[in-house]
Amino acid sequence: MPCIERGYEAVLLVAALRGEYHLTELAGADLIMSIAPAFQEIFVTKDLAREERIDQPVPADAIERLRQMPEFVRAYEPDGMSPAEFMAYGATQRTLSQFCEVGWKLMESYR
């Protein structure tokens, strides 16, 4: 269910692009992308599909395979976790630690 239908005011920030399909498959979504400099030129210069794809359904067999992982279900289902549980969720913790250990430490080195 899209954020707007649930009354959320947040906009998704995608910051972990690892391949061109992460960009092309999200085309048309109401989100913000933070694209690492190493990938920016590739995405701009490559002849990638330029069509809205966000509403294309994910194959059911892929979702079923992912549903075997409890952490996926927690993130995928609209009520899979409470807001209070989000901060302790594994992927949240990993992202926060990466920002602190890599991004923030780099910023601290500038004078």
CB 37 within 8 A of CB 55: no
- Is the pLDDT assigned to residue 2 strictly greater than 60? no
Torsion of CA 57, 1, 10, 48, to 10 degrees: 10
What is the pLDDT, as a whole number, of residue 60? Answer: 97
What is the pLDDT, as a whole number, of residue 82? Answer: 92
- Is the pLDDT assigned to residue 15 strictly greater than 80? no
What is the pLDDT, as a whole number, of residue 64? Answer: 97
Instruction: Give residue 1's pLDDT band: very low, low, confident or very high (50, 70, 90).
Output: very low
Q: What is the mean pLDDT of residues 10-25?
A: 81
